Amino acid sequence: MILGIGTDLANIDRIQGTLDRFGDRFRNRVFTEIEQSKAERRADVAGTYAKRWAAKEACSKALGTGLAMGIAWKDMSVTNLRTGQPVMHVTGWAADRLKEMTPEGYEAIIHVTLTDDHPWAQAFVVIEARPLQDSTTQP
């Protein structure tokens, strides 16, 4: 079952302006060390940050709270599998909210997809609840 859906569109040029103006203060407030490391290795640094910004906004919307209700930026982070597929991780208040909205007997799965076409970066997040499998019925 779907527990939440969120999307966000970020302007890459606006993120570049914020990076130029606030630098590490912005990076350290919003992005984890892993996210920063990934972005700083990329040719399109601002685009990488913009996609992760959009993913965090989309995740907060899928959690039904938005960023105004207590979720910290770093409570949500994006890494990538070796295949390049993005993976959303939640900690802190975001993890608490996810647990609260997940029905008993289910596990929450967060799906995230990212795209960009300069000057836009976009993210979609879908939170799915899958029934837990009863280990006593497995072969």
43-87 per-position pLDDT tens digit? 999 999 999 999 999 999 999 987 666 778 999 999 999 999 999
Task: Report the mean per-residue pLDDT for the chain.
Answer: 94
Residue at 49 is within a domain: yes
Residue at 136 is within a domain: no
pLDDT at residue 71, rounded to an integer: 79
Quote the CA–CA distance of 101 and 39 in Å, as a whole number.
Answer: 31
Residue at 139 is within a domain: no
pLDDT at residue 8, rounded to an integer: 97
CATH code for position 48: 3.90.470.20
Is the pLDDT at 138 greater than 80? The verdict is: no
Residue at 138 is within a domain: no
Instruction: Give the predicted TM-score (pTM) of the model.
Output: 0.91
Give tens-digit pLDDT for 88-119: 999 999 999 999 999 999 999 999 999 999 99
**Residues 11-22 as b or e (16 or more Cβ within 10 Å = b):** bbeebbebbeee
